[in-house]
Amino acid sequence: MEGEEGGIATKKRGKEGETETTRYKGIRMRKWGKWVAEIREPNKRSRIWLGSYSTPVAAARAYDTAVFHLRGPSARLNFPELVAAEGPAADMSAASIRKKATEVGARVDALHRQHPHALPAGEFADRVDLNKMPEPENSDCDYWDRD
């Protein structure tokens, strides 16, 4: 069962009441934590595989690129302000769309790996490294030096 709750796409999975949610259209998370994107070609049964990414933003950007080139400016996008910079939608083959979408997704994924804390406004980190020692919040406090 699929639906929308306050702008978040939801998809029921597994046990009753269990849901997997994503705020972006056209992507899903694999069991092992990777985010994947694919899109169905208009008037065909075939799908265009858009790749596997470490972040949902990268997968969503790949999806946006593909849907923009398949359906034009009227397509519903995750990041409408970012796709407009790519120029007008052109008539492209499925292979060309896939190539362009995977390039965009890979570029966004690389940026997120280089700068993991540089998330878009309103975004929170999906995963926190629980094995990493936390940074001191206030270096003026000499808590550990107390006797």
Locate the domains of the chain by residue range: 26-117
Say what the pLDDT of residue 124 is. Answer: 46
147 has a pLDDT exceeding 80: no
Say what the pLDDT of residue 98 is. Answer: 94
- Fold of the domain spanning 26-117: GCC-box Binding Domain (3.30.730)
pLDDT band with cut points at 50, 70 and 90 for residue 1? very low
Residue of 18 and 37 predicted with greater confidence: 37
Mean pLDDT of the residues in the chain: 76
**pTM beyond 0.85, yes or no:** no
Say what the pLDDT of residue 125 is. Answer: 47
Say what the pLDDT of residue 2 is. Answer: 45
Mean pLDDT of 45-74: 93
Quote the percentage of the chain above a pLDDT of 90. 45
144 has a pLDDT exceeding 60: no
The 10s digit of each residue's pLDDT in 38-51 is: 999 988 999 999 99
CA angle 44/49/53 to nearest 5° reads: 150
The 10s digit of each residue's pLDDT in 114-127 is: 876 655 544 444 45
Hey, what are 10's tokens? 């939801």
Mean pLDDT of 62-80: 92
6 has a pLDDT exceeding 90: no
